[in-house]
A and B are shown apart, each in its own frame.
Chain A
Amino acid sequence: MTDRTRELAEQVRQAGIQRTPLCIRGGGSKAFHGRNSQGEPLEMAGHAGVVSYEPTELVITARAGTPLTEIEALLAEHNQVLPFEPPHFGAGATLGGMLAAGLSGPRRPWSGSVRDAVLGVKILNGRGEPLGFGGQVMKNVAGYDVSRLMAGSLGTLGVILETSIKVLPRPAASLTLVQELDAARAARRVLDLGRQPLPLSGSLYHAGRLWLRLCGGEQGVAAARQSIGGEVVQVPVWQAVRDHALPFFQTESPLWRLSLPAAAPDPALPGDILTEWGGAQRWLVSDAAPEAIRTRVQALGGHATWFRGHPPDGAVFHPLPAPLLALHRAVKQALDPLGLFNPGRLYPEL
């Protein structure tokens, strides 16, 4: 429950003087995510605590080291949730790590991503200066949106000290339906449903079965259930898919995350595939050559992340065209001129 901004800033300034890179560490639950990075550890765990939470404002502000479980428990007391259902991937997941990783769970296409929910941040830049951007209000266009820039930056742009996140009421009713369908029919079905105004909040297809989740008011969910059909599932799969606890994910083979246009056809790559997000996020377990996967996914209008099972120094994230990479370097330079933070974690050049 302490504010360790001063110590953290001092550590960054010292690192700057000595030109020693820093590896920012929250709970370590997503240490597998991204490339290997070397440096002195900068521990965020002690910099924790909820700074403010006013349920009727739909905003929670907490320090980066606050455990995600603590945040979710507090919200639950007030019947609220993080609408983007962030994956934990381990017991120690922190709020700062959640933002830095920028990963969202099953509800993402319908309720937005982590990045969509971020309202403000406090960070330390590479000079060890504490800076505040955005705020605690829903609408705020003063200054560039540095808060959202932090989402998915994997700690390479600054030390996230604190963040304000938009929360939502927990839906009064939630229901999961399952249906047996072949892959092509399931894909078509999901696209057709997506074009209708239904209270959908999750879709999952694997090995001949399509799960759909409905969330909302009691009557709205009941009516939608009638029109969609399928069997009601008692043990929902959503948390298991969110945290990769399903058997599908228990593999020694490389796991890829494919971000695709929802209606993109089956990439027809060797391996097993699990489709979420109405078709927009597909997990691929495959031993195919990384180049082949990337070329195919890019041709379909998406990008591929080598999520698990990559070599420590391998290319994890989809390569950027040269001019875009140059702009990334310039942005990194603007925030972290000495290149102190998590060097190489996202791309070798950053």
Chain B
Amino acid sequence: MNAPAEVLLAPELRRALIADLRAALPATAVLAEAEELHPYECDGLSAYRRLPAVAVLPESVEQVQAVLRVCREHGVPVVPRGAGTGLSGGALPLSNGVLLGLARFNRILAIDPDNRIARVQPGVRNLAISEAAAVHGLYYAPDPSSQIACSIGGNVAENSGGVHCLKYGLTVHNVLGIKMLTMDGELLELGGASLDGPGYDLLALMTGSEGLLGIVIEVTVRLLPKPERTQVLLAAYASVEQAGEAVAAIIANGIIPAGLEMMDNPAIRAAEDFVHAGYPVEAEAILLCELDGTNAEVSEAIMGVRELLLQSGATEVRTATDEAQRQKFWAGRKGAFPAVGRISPDYYCMDGTIPRQHLGRVLKRIAQLSGEYGLKVANVFHAGDGNLHPLILFDANREGELERAEAFGTAILDLCVAVGGTVTGEHGIGIEKLAPMCSQFGAAELEQFHALKAAFDPAGLLNPGKAVPTLHRCAEFGRMHVQGGELRFPELPRF
């Protein structure tokens, strides 16, 4: 339902495109055979697959510029790709386009401990930065669960978060500068090694732009000193609402934990079966609360948090006694997606964010919807910042289940918008959430996004059809939300 229409290049156009790319790049950098192209047919949203017309794997800025030039000359679209772990189809190839793989840009260019920055190429894996900085006692804070695989270029393009972003922020808060290429092949530097750059904050605009505004070819990230001590608490609750209230109580008491994660009963059970973390499987919800800082800071905070958890009705509060146990507590949470993957042939991960005060209400409604759609759901979420990841369980081999799962997911996202939240907290729109975008934004905002896109890429060749729906697409989706008595997109025909 969501995938953009498949348009093939005419064979002679494709041949000419490949010939021009081969002329500009080393032989191993141009992939045109079907079997070479298969690894690039999808990203982490694997329900959607297609082969690109051709894939290229350049390894220098000049080579990327050459690719962009050839694409401009042929009027062919370009889809950038990092590690392909994206969950919204942002890196889904276009069958009439070039897939631009950045995996060969995999060098850490500099680690500068005094300035506490690292300069890296976009294909460098997220975790590799922290590994390289560790000798200096430093690390890169944003830690998506996919951090062993995902690339920093992809992180910038998605503005990725992680379990520690409550305290340390998202990618946008931890990137100081980028070098990028516009579709015109112009090399631009935004920000750098200082804390701000002159002019408009185009770095913020680029962060989370899903490959639609430019190609990120170098990233300067901020590094932080590794905390002296890290400690995690696990609290069990007899209801999800109570767990939600505990989160509010911690924050109301002036404590910002490094991480504050919640799982509901189905997620707890799946995770426990998978990693044997010792989770209380009878609990309706568990909270994981991580505190970090100096020894003194952690000692002080941990007492307070323990007290608050008990006051908020926790049936049990455990403190990890050593690093091994801390890792174990986290293993269940970090392995929640694959754990759910074991109990269901397929699952569909949603990513809405809501103001935390509505947590109980939203979860109740999700449970109702689960009954209505006849599909089970397990909930894991970044409770501290209200970012929900309901995992909808389905079987794609059963007629109509994928569609039902998607409809269920869309209903959840509409619910998030209705309570004042958003349809995506960290996974991006891609092709997946184009329809819900039409309920979150009005026609004027969507048009403004398109105008901004055109400022960077007037010909519309960079990752077209992703991230921002056209007004016609919204009309096709039939998503005419009536707000304040006014029909949205009144100027468009109804389908």
Contact = CB atoms under 8 A, between A and B. Distances in A.
Q: Does B bind A?
A: yes
Interface of A: 54-59, 79, 102, 108-109, 112-113, 115-116, 125, 129-133, 135-146, 148-149, 151-153, 157, 168-172, 191, 194-199, 216-220, 222-224, 259-263, 277, 280-281, 301-303, 305, 317-321, 323-325, 327-328, 330-331, 333-335, 346-347
Contacts of A280: 194-195
Interface in B345-379: 353-357
Nearest to A156: B200
B421 A135 contact: yes
B130 interface: no
B278 interface: no
B169 A334 contact: no
A317 B198 CA distance: 7
Contacts of A79: 254
B437 A320 contact: no
Contacts of B253: 169
A198 B186 contact: no
A220 B296 contact: yes
Contact of B194 (A148, A222, A259, A317): A259
Contacts of A140: 353, 422, 424-425
B19 interface: no
A328 B254 contact: no
A261 B222 CA distance: 11
A151 B201 CA distance: 7
A141 B440 CA distance: 12
Contacts, number: 264
Nearest to B454: A334
Contacts of B188: 321, 323-324, 327
Contacts of A172: 254
Given A138-B353, A222-B296, A197 B200 contact: no
A151 B204 contact: yes
A146 B204 CA distance: 8
Contacts of B296: 217, 219-220, 222-224
Interface string B198-219: 1111101101110001000000
B200 A132 contact: no
A58 B455 contact: no
Contacts of B467: 143
B448 interface: yes
Interface stretch (B9-17, B223-231, B331-339): B223-231
Interface stretch (B20-28, B57-65, B107-115): B107-115
A331 B382 contact: no
Contact of A143 (B202, B444, B468): B468
Nearest to B453: A144
The list of the 3 closest CB pairs from A to B, nearest first, reads A220-B297, A169-B254, A148-B204
Given A56-B251, A145-B204, A139 B353 contact: yes
